[in-house]
Amino acid sequence: MAVHAATYYNDASRRLVLAYKHGGKITLAGLLARLMAARLPDPAQADRKPLLVPVPLHRWRLWQRGFNQAALLAHELARLGKGEVLVDALMRQRRTPSLGGLGREARERALAGAIAVNPKRASVIAGRAVVLVDDVFTSGATTRACIAALGGAGARSIAVACFARVDEAATIRDVWTGPSRRGLRPENETPEAF
């Protein structure tokens, strides 16, 4: 799986993600998407533009937040010519707990069966190149659940585009040390946990 990330998840990117996702600064979507677009291959070289599929939120989380941050990024990427948005390609069929603080296996269990292809969009996905869009790539559990669903619908290829990616070489403790994080628990490794 190819993961195209604009940057690593660090202090600066964390502040941007938190302001965007939880601080209501949705105007940051354009900036984040431009940085993401710089890392994506040029779709003009392909026979057909890829489908830009955002990681879905459960309807309750969408209602609470008021927007799907991945969907806004996908729309901005489409505006930048990186593909065609299929905002409702995936559905989160049930609520999942916040994944912050969960290890890899617990994340996988929490997401088991939670994400599926929208049956109304399966025929659109079949045979197409897909770019899965998200704000942060952490352990890959959500991404793997989405990829399994998209692959089951016959996607020709699947890549991932995200703004920030947790450095695989860094431990969670490395990511979460420092005086700027007083009061935060190290197990909250993703912005979703806040």
* pLDDT tens per residue, range 27-64: 999 999 999 999 998 887 667 899 999 999 888 888 88
Query: If you classify domain 2-95+102-177+189-193 with CATH, what class do you get?
Result: alpha beta
Do β-strands 157-165 and 2-8 pair in parallel, antiparallel, or remain unpaired?
parallel
125 is written with which tokens? 């996905």
pLDDT at 24 over 70: yes
Q: State residue 166 phi and psi, 5-degree precision.
A: -70, 130
Q: What is the pTM of this model?
A: 0.83
CB-CB contact of 87 with 54 (8 Å): yes
Residue type, 49: K
150 vs 174, more confident: 150
Domain ranges of the chain: 2-95+102-177+189-193
Calpha distance 82→88 (Å, rounded): 18
Calpha distance 105→123 (Å, rounded): 32
From the CA atom positions of the chain, what is the Rg in Å? 16
Calpha distance 103→151 (Å, rounded): 25
In the Cβ-directed half-sphere of 137, how many Cα atoms lie within 13 Å?
A: 26
